[in-house]
Amino acid sequence: MAGSTLFALGLFVSTLVLGPLSLLTVPLPLRARFAFISLWARFNLWWLDRTCGLRFEVEGREHIPARPTVVMCKHQSAWETLALQTLFRPQVWVLKRELLWIPLFGWGLALLRPIAIDRRAGRRAIEQVVRQGIDRLARGAWVVVFPEGTRVAPRERGRYHIGGALLAERAGAPVVPVAHNAGEFWPRHGFLKRPGVIRLVIGPPIAVADRKAAEILEEVERWVEGTMARLSGQPAAASPGPGH
């Protein structure tokens, strides 16, 4: 309890300090802006280790392509939004637009030009992901997508949505799949963090040439959920149905 409280205090103070300072990066190019703003993530990962004894190991760094592409990652907690910033630089996220309305935190997000969607917009939101995703890739940024759209508990599987795969198809950009077991240590709705070592696995890029989005998404889901089963030591959860 004490460690988690100290971590929350550091998270708050670092946001209070770096949020306003991030506004000074407005004139800078995206790469330089990201380098400064992501100090917040790096600090809080370090602080998480110091206060809660929670660190992480990465498997598959050699699979990271030389050029930015689409990253599709399992979403279990807030932890992966920090850790991914240390691996794919610079990056933008596909996220719900309400996050940009959070004082200080939202300012930093907005400066990184995320793809902020209205999740109720349906097809229009998918078209926005494709259009803006192609733009961000052309500008040299990785596009990070959480295909389930929301955080899911360990050993559970959400419905995989088509937007990220459709972006990959239209942009001709390979998909880098990512799995991890952060939810075992940092629960999606929990305050307490368990000490230990989070394992994050980066898979080989999934080719998209001459393939449709549904086929790409199916391979991403198969790899991610199979890797999640390996990390948890249990059989993969049953799919809730095809993405949409």
Is 237 among the domain residues? no
Is 209 among the domain residues? yes
Angle between helix axes 2-22 and 39-52 (nearest 10 degrees) is: 170
Is 238 among the domain residues? no
Domain CATH code at residue 7 = 3.40.1130
Q: Indicate the pTM of the whole model.
A: 0.90
Is 32 among the domain residues? yes
pLDDT at 110: 87
Looking at the structure of the chain, the number of domains it has is: 1
Q: What pLDDT digit, counting tens, does each position of 181-191 carry? A: 999 999 988 89
pLDDT, average across residues 190-201: 95
pLDDT at 236: 54
pLDDT at 103: 82
Q: What pLDDT digit, counting tens, does each position of 128-169 carry? A: 999 999 999 999 999 999 999 899 999 999 999 999 999 999
Is 243 among the domain residues? no
Domain ranges, residue 84: 2-232
Q: What pLDDT digit, counting tens, does each position of 82-137 carry? A: 999 999 999 999 988 888 888 878 878 888 889 988 877 788 999 999 999 999 99
pLDDT at 222: 97
Number of H helices, E strands in the chain: 8, 7
